[in-house]
């Protein structure tokens, strides 16, 4: 199997990206193309014993500066690591692309290089999200701010295809995110999407969930528009930081508590580990003619490793072909309703 990594992406490139790729290549014996500034990548690679590993460097010198609008820069600088890396996949040299960092740039480059899959209304950005039972996948989390009900119905089917190998479940429970748990809840978008889903779905569709149920793990796939989804992800992160910071402040303000906190440190770390979602660090950009995973811009060595692992899993599970098939079935079956639906 052959993967491509944007070695220059994210806040800690190329140190952490290269380190993660070395770890992954060693454990899985897959090829990982490292795309970016050749000299910088080579310098990093020399820190490790890479004998027996296949880590070819592909030079892509056009760095996207911090002061540039990333989506614009990707369009203008054709030799940037994202576009060059994705082309390796498009031309059959590799099976999937793992990007790190700026979502806007990934979206632009992905659409430019791979184009949308036939029949897919819009590509959807998904992430795995921890809950009290384990994980669910949530999408769209930021690719599309203003959505149509029809798109959400398609995404439900696409996310279900992806959730199967990712969460290792046969028939994922699929729901829309709403402001209440009763059927019929939601804004007009979600209400109409519910009606369309009831008419035609090939899913284990369970209706709507509100955040409480979502965080209790009552659905495996939670579908929402990209504006709401993005805010939900960001708000969760912000609330988590706020709570942990508040706890830390209160613990440090009391001598006895400080001692307690020191004793409790391993438990704290374990909890933060569970919350940090490291093993499910990478999201997926679904609906393009190429497999694209998206790791967080703050990803370090271990998260890069797991992002590559997710990429490999998705390739192995043939998620792209299965999505294509699902969309074709859906389009075929739904055709008599389509006019009415849209």
**Shortest distance in whole angstroms from residue 172 CB to a copy of itself:** 20
**Residues 79 to 138: which contact a copy of itself by CB under 8 A?**
130-132
Phi/psi at 130 (5° precision): -75, 145
Question: Judged by CB under 8 A, which stretch of 91-99, 210-218, 278-286, 293-301 contacts a copy of itself?
Answer: 210-218
Residue count (the chain): 342
DSSP annotation of 288 reads B
Of the residues 72, 195, 239, 342, which one makes contact with a copy of itself according to CB under 8 A: 239
**Shortest distance in whole angstroms from residue 310 CB to a copy of itself:** 22
Q: How far apart are CA 58 and CA 305, in angstroms?
A: 19
Q: Is 195 a binder of a copy of itself (CB under 8 A)?
A: no
Q: Is 247 a binder of a copy of itself (CB under 8 A)?
A: yes
**Shortest distance in whole angstroms from residue 118 CB to a copy of itself:** 27
DSSP annotation of 132 reads T
Q: In what order do the strands lie in the sheet with 31-36?
A: 57-59, 31-36, 2-6, 96-100, 292-295, 283-286, 124-131, 134-139, 221-223, 173-177, 204-209
**Residues 164 to 183: which contact a copy of itself by CB under 8 A?**
177-179
Question: Judged by CB under 8 A, which stretch of 8-16, 26-34, 153-161, 234-242 contacts a copy of itself?
Answer: 234-242
Of the residues 198, 259, 333, 342, which one makes contact with a copy of itself according to CB under 8 A: 259
Q: Is 238 a binder of a copy of itself (CB under 8 A)?
A: yes
Q: Is 279 a binder of a copy of itself (CB under 8 A)?
A: no
Residues 6+ apart with CB under 8 A from 46: none
Tokens of 201: 């779905």
Residues 6+ apart with CB under 8 A from 43: none
Q: Is 228 a binder of a copy of itself (CB under 8 A)?
A: yes
Of the residues 126, 230, 299, 334, which one makes contact with a copy of itself according to CB under 8 A: 230
Q: How far apart are CA 60 and CA 14, in angstroms?
A: 13
* Sign (positive or negative) of CA dihedral 317, 320, 321, 325: positive
Of the residues 112, 261, 317, 341, which one makes contact with a copy of itself according to CB under 8 A: 261
Q: How far apart are CA 52 and CA 206, in angstroms?
A: 48
Q: Is 72 a binder of a copy of itself (CB under 8 A)?
A: no
In the bound state with a copy of itself, the residue whose beta carbon lies nearer, of 201 and 257, is: 257
**Shortest distance in whole angstroms from residue 245 CB to a copy of itself:** 7
DSSP annotation of 97 reads E
DSSP annotation of 104 reads H
Tokens of 146: 């203003």
In the bound state with a copy of itself, the residue whose beta carbon lies nearer, of 95 and 140, is: 140
Give the DSSP per-residue string, 6-74: ETT-STTTTHHHHHHHHHHHHHH--EEEEEE-HHHHHHHHTTS--TT----EEE------TTS-HHHHH
Of the residues 76, 241, 316, 329, which one makes contact with a copy of itself according to CB under 8 A: 241
Q: Is 214 a binder of a copy of itself (CB under 8 A)?
A: yes
**Shortest distance in whole angstroms from residue 267 CB to a copy of itself:** 4
In the bound state with a copy of itself, the residue whose beta carbon lies nearer, of 78 and 274, is: 274
Of the residues 39, 145, 183, 329, which one makes contact with a copy of itself according to CB under 8 A: 145
Positions that interact with a copy of itself (CB under 8 A):
130-132, 142, 145-146, 177-179, 186-188, 190, 210-212, 214-216, 225-228, 230-232, 234-247, 249-251, 253-254, 256-257, 259-268, 270-271, 274-275
């Amino acid at each position: 199997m052959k993967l491509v990594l944007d070695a220059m992406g994210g806040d800690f490139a190329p140190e952490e990206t290269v380190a993660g790729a070395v770890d992954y290549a060693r454990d899985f014996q897959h090829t990982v193309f490292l795309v970016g500034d050749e000299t910088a990548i080579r310098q990093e690679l020399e820190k490790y014993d890479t004998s027996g590993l296949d880590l070819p460097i592909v030079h892509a010198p056009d760095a996207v500066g911090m002061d540039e609008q990333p989506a614009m820069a990707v369009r203008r600088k054709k030799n940037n690591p994202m576009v060059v890396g994705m082309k390796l996949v498009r031309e059959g040299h590799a099976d999937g692309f793992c990007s790190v960092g700026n979502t806007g740039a990934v979206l632009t480059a992905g659409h430019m290089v791979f184009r949308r899959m036939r029949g897919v209304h819009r590509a959807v950005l998904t992430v795995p999200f921890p809950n009290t039972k384990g994980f669910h996948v949530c999408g769209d989390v930021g690719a599309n701010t203003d959505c149509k009900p029809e798109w959400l119905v398609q995404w439900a089917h696409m996310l279900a295809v992806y959730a199967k190998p990712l969460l290792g479940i046969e028939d994922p429970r699929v729901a829309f995110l709403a402001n209440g748990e009763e059927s019929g809840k939601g804004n007009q978008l979600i209400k109409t999407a519910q009606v369309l889903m009831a008419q035609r779905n090939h899913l284990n569709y369970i209706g709507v969930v509100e955040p409480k149920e979502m965080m209790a793990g009552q659905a495996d796939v939670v579908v929402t528009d990209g504006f709401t989804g993005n805010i939900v992800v960001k708000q969760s992160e912000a609330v988590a930081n706020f709570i942990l910071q508040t706890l830390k402040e209160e613990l440090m303000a009391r001598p006895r508590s400080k001692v307690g906190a020191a004793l409790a440190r391993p438990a704290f770390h374990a909890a933060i580990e569970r919350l940090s979602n490291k093993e499910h660090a990478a999201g997926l950009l679904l609906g393009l003619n190429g497999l694209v995973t998206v790791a967080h811009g703050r990803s370090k060595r271990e998260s890069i490793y797991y992002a590559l692992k997710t990429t490999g899993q998705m390739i192995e599970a043939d998620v792209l072909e299965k999505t294509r098939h699902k969309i074709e079935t859906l389009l075929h079956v739904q055709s008599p309703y389509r006019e009415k639906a849209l």
